[in-house]
Structure 1
Amino acid sequence: MIKSFQLNSRKKETLNFYLLISPWLIGLAAFMLGPIIASLVLSFFQWDMISPAKFIGLRNFKEMFTVDPLFWQSLKVTVIYVVVRVPLALILAFILAIMMNQKIPGIGVFRTIYYLPSVISGVAVSMMWIWVFNPNFGLVNGALDSIGLSGPGWFSDTAWALPTMILISMYQVGSTAIIFLAGLKSINETLYEAAELDGASKLQQLFHITIPQLTPTILFNVIMLVITSFQIFTEALIITGGGPANSTLFINLYLYENAFSYGRLGYASALAWILSLLTFICAVTIFKSSNKWVFYEGGK
C-alpha cells in the first residue's frame, strides 16, 4: 500500500510538473522547434512566398558554394568581425569588470551606467552611431577637425566601414563585464592574502590568481561573444545596409536580403543553416579546447 501510494504521488507530481511547464513547451514547439524544422525543409526548396514551393534538392547549397560570390564575401566579413571583435570585447569587458570591482563610493551607479547600453534598443543605438560618425557633422570628425586632423568617411568608406562596426560593438560589452564581475566576486580573498604574504605583486596576482580562477567565466563569455557576433544584424541593416561595396555584408544581413528583398526563402533558409552550423562548430571547438586552459577549483 505504501509503495502504491508513493507511485501515485510521484505520478501526480510529474503530471503537475508538465502541466506547469506546458505553456513553455507549447511556445517552444510552436515558435522555435516548428520554425527550425520548417527552415530545414525549406532549404531544399525554391519558394518566393507567392508561387508553390518547388523541390530542388541540394541546389541551394551547391549554388552557395560554387556560383555565389556574395556568400563568400558575407562569410569573409562575418569571420573577420568575429575574430577581431571577440578578443577585443573580452579584454575591454575584463578591464571594466576590474574597475567595477573596486570598493569606492557610488560604484553601483557606475555599474548601472556600464550595463545600460546592453539593454537599449539596437535601432536607437544604431541611429546614435550614424550621427556620431557622420563624416560631415558627426561628433568624432568634429573633434578631429578641432585639432587639425581630417577624419575618414567611417561608414561610407570601404576601408573603415568594417573596423568602425567592430569599434561601435564595444559599446555594448556591459553584460559581459557584469558576468566577469560576478566571477571576480566569487574568487576567495584568502588567495590574495596568501599571495601578498609571499610578496606577490598586483600584476603577479592578476596572472597567477585572478585569470586562472576566472577561466570558467572566460570560457562562458567567449562562447557567448562568438554566438552573438555571428548573429550581428540590426547595426548592419540600419547603419550601412551592407555597404559600401558589400564591405559590411554580414551573413545574417545577406540572409535577410535573400528572404525579404529577393523572395528566395529556400536559399535564405540554406544560408541560415550554414550560419548555424558554423556557429555550432566554433562553439564546440572552443568548448572542447577548454580541457587545456580552463581551471576548475574542484578538478575536472
Structure 2
Amino acid sequence: MTKPTTRAHSAVTWGLVSLALAVVAVLGGAALAPVFPGPLLKHPAPSPSAPAWLEPPSSAAPLKGATPLADSAPMPAAAALAGELDAKLGGGFGAAVLDGSTGQTLYSHAGTQAVAPASNLKLLTAAAVLTTLGPDATFRTRTVRGSAPGSVVLVAGGDVFLGNGESSPEAVVGRAGIVTLARQTAAALGPIQGQVTVQLDDTLFTGPSLNPAWASEDVTVGEIAPIDPIALNVARSQPGGTGPRPLDPAMAAASAFRDALAGALGPGVTVVDGMARGVAGGGAELASVTSAAVSDQIDYTLRESDNYAAEA
C-alpha cells in the first residue's frame, strides 16, 4: 500500500477546517440574531422532498429464480406471520410486508416511520479510512520468487477490487487486473522449462476472517463473506454480480492467478494444480499491479452499499 501524499493530508485538513468554520458560522449567526435582526437573517423554512429513487415502488419487482404463486394461492395469516417475524427479529427496526398482488399489508413494525438505515454506519467507516490512510492511498498486489526453484508467491496487499481480466485504468473494480499481473510475472520469469508452483501469502490480515455477529444466512446469500486481503471483484464472480460469494475469496483469487499464469507461460511449462498458503520470504519481486485510490473505492462502497468492501 502506498502512503498518502501531502496533497491528501492537505485535502483532509482543509476539509476539517471548512467543517469547523461552518459550525462556527452557524453558531455565530445564532448568537448575532438578537443583535442584528432584519431580512438578512430571515430565511424561508426549508421544504425538503425525497428524491424519486427513495419513493416506495409502485409495483413489486419480479423475483429472479422463483416461481410466481398462482392467484388462487392462500394469503398468509397476518397474525401467524407476525408471530414468526417477531420471534426472529429483535432490536430497533422498521419493516413492512405487503402482498405482491393486492398490496395488502400483512406485517408492519414501525413500517411507516422513517428510520436510519443500518448501512449509514458505512459513513463512519469511510471517514475513518479517509482519515487514517488518506484519499490517495492505493494497494499493491505483487508476486515474488519463492524459496524453491520454479516457485512463485502471490502476495496479497489488501486489494479486494482486483479484476479477473486485464488492468483497466478507468475502472474502480478491476483497476488492477489479475491477468495483467500474471502476464507481467511470466515475462519476469523469462524463458523457463518444467514445472511452476504458485503459493499464496495472505497473512496481511490477522484474526478471524468473519465477524461472528453475521448470521449464517447472510453469508449464504452473499451479503458478506470472509474478509481476506485479496479478492476478485469485491468477492464476486463478476463486477456488479449478486448472489453467493466465494467462501474463500483469497484462494479464489489465487486460483484465478494460477490459471492466468498457466496461459501466459510458453509451451514446455506446466503450472502445478493445487495451491498452498505460505509466507513470502526475501525473494525478488517479479511484478505488481496497483489498485484504484482509496477515495474511488470509498465512493464505490457507499454508492453500492457493499458490505464486503466496507469491512475489507
> Scaled by the length of structure 2, what TM-score is found?
0.21
Higher strand share: 2
Q: Which has the larger radius of gyration?
A: 2
Higher helix share: 1
> Scaled by the length of structure 1, what TM-score is found?
0.21
Structure of higher RCO (CA pairs closer than 8 Å, 6+ residues apart): 1
